[in-house]
């Protein structure tokens, strides 16, 4: 059973026409964004340069070829183990989105998929064993992590969008195989909540879930790829859970906890030390991704329930910081009390996606964009670098919605 997920020291389809958004930069043709969605006011050239800066840094510092011929694996230097499933998922998604800008991107996607398939979960061979050591050997139970499998499958759907599936790898088929396995082994069949992994369906964990796994855009894409309406039910379940948690526990902030319990009845933030640490029931190192994940759906799908939910977060963070993104901390209680001090990109960057949803937040979005680009990428921070790069892909209009 995998309990220690990360060690942190401080730790729907494409709209095929030109869209003009907010008062920021104009969208490129093929943008997936809805009309009226904001973009940073910086020039497109500046935004593309920011993406490529992070992409080249990411390639240099977080890609390993030591796990076999033709294999790539994403190094997670700030995690418990050298390689973690979430990192491999990020790698596939990032490389697929950058596919039209770097001729190496497709071989990276294929190489990461080769690594993933070489390390199956002991519980379901179509899922990925969540952790590997520096010798590329699966460790800590060799079972899965839901966040990793969700992202691997989604990234493969993006690869199919970018390159099609007629080459050496059928990305669509590989994605559907994993999606079906996720449904079988990582979804509570009674409640339709995501489990923590394929090890989580027991008395202690089966009625718990991680808010950063509640990715409505992923669930929409899975329903479309498989034709399975269960994914619409899964999406709705999590959208309703967000509304419940915001209403009952975060009415002034909109923040979500890292983990929740009681998915079979009375939903509530997890108790301290439920799984990872004393902030398991707070907005911490997992939930920091929520404004990005929910925001991605809000800016691409007309009628997304996430729109109002993520705007609530956006309104609060502007108020908390008094419009100064340098004052974004590294976590809060759901009531908005600081839990850890200091800036970290995984907390700052996702709020920029939330800001894109609010027509009145152009100045705030521009400040966030500037602040994000002040961060110097850290070669030992795969988590923050990977999140920042994915946010920059969205901000710059280089996002691909599966």
Give per-residue pLDDT as tens, 92-119.
999 999 999 999 999 999 999 999 999 9
Q: Which of 86, 143, 276, 297 is labelled catalytic?
A: 86
316: closest CA among 342, 341, 335, 289?
335
DSSP 65: -
Cα separations in angstroms, 189 against 31, 70, 210, 226, 259? 36, 37, 16, 17, 19
Stated length of the chain: 402
The residues, ordered by sequence, that sit 6+ positions from 45 with a Cβ below 8 Å of its Cβ are none
Report the pLDDT value the prediction gives residue 184, as an integer from 0 to 100.
98
Residue 379 exposed, middle or buried by CB count within 10 Å (0-12, 13-18, 19+)? middle
Inter-residue contact 392 to 377 (CB < 8 Å): no
What are the structural domains of the chain?
44-395 (1.50.10.10)
Q: d(Cα 380, Cα 387) in Å, to the nearest integer?
A: 14
Q: Which of 143, 147, 290, 381 is labelled catalytic?
A: 147
Give me 144's structure tokens. 């899965």
Report the pLDDT value the prediction gives residue 31, as an integer from 0 to 100.
61
Report the pLDDT value the prediction gives residue 202, as an integer from 0 to 100.
86
Estimate the crossing angle of helix 44-62 against helix 85-97, to 10 degrees.
140
Please indicate whether residue 239 is annotated as part of the active site.
Answer: no
Report the pLDDT value the prediction gives residue 2, as an integer from 0 to 100.
34
Report the pLDDT value the prediction gives residue 327, as an integer from 0 to 100.
97
Please indicate whether residue 340 is annotated as part of the active site.
Answer: no
pTM comes to 0.93
In the chain, which residues have pLDDT < 50? 1-30
């Amino acid at each position: 059973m995998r309990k220690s997920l990360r060690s942190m020291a401080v730790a729907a389809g494409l709209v095929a026409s030109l869209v003009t958004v907010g008062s920021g930069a104009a969208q490129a043709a093929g943008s997936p964004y809805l009309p009226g969605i904001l973009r940073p006011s910086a020039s497109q050239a500046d935004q593309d340069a920011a993406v490529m800066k992070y992409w080249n840094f990411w390639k240099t510092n977080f890609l390993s070829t030591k796990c076999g011929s033709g294999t790539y694996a994403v190094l997670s230097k700030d995690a418990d183990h050298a390689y973690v499933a979430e990192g491999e998922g990020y790698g596939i998604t990032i490389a697929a989105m950058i596919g039209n800008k770097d001729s190496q991107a497709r071989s990276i996607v294929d190489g990461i998929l080769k690594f993933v398939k070489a390390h199956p979960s002991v519980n379901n061979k179509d899922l990925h064993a969540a952790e590997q050591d520096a010798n590329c050997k699966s460790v800590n139970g060799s079972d899965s992590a839901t966040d990793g499998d969700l992202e691997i499958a989604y990234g493969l759907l993006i690869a199919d969008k970018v390159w099609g599936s007629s080459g050496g790898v059928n990305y669509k088929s590989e994605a559907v195989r994993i999606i079906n396995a996720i449904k079988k082994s990582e979804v509570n069949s009674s409640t339709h909540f995501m489990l923590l992994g394929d090890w989580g369906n027991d008395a202690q964990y089966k009625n718990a879930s991680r808010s950063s796994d509640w990715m409505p855009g992923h669930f929409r894409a899975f329903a479309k790829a498989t034709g399975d309406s269960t994914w619409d039910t899964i999406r709705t379940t999590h959208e309703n859970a967000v509304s419940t948690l915001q209403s009952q526990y975060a009415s002034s902030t909109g923040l979500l906890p890292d983990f929740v319990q009681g998915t079979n009845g009375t939903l509530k933030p997890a108790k301290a030390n439920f799984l990872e640490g004393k902030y398991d029931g707070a907005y911490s190192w997992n939930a920091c991704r929520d404004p990005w994940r929910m925001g991605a759906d809000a800016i691409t799908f007309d009628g997304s329930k996430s729109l109002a939910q993520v705007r609530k977060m956006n309104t609060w963070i502007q108020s908390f910081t008094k419009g100064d993104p340098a004052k974004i901390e590294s976590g809060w209680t759901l009531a908005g009390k600081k839990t850890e001090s200091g800036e970290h990109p995984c907390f700052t960057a996702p709020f920029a996606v939330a800001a894109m949803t609010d027509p009145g937040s152009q100045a705030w979005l521009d400040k966030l964009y500037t602040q994000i680009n002040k961060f110097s990428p850290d070669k030992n921070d795969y988590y923050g670098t990977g999140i920042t790069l994915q946010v920059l892909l969205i901000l710059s209009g280089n996002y691909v919605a599966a």
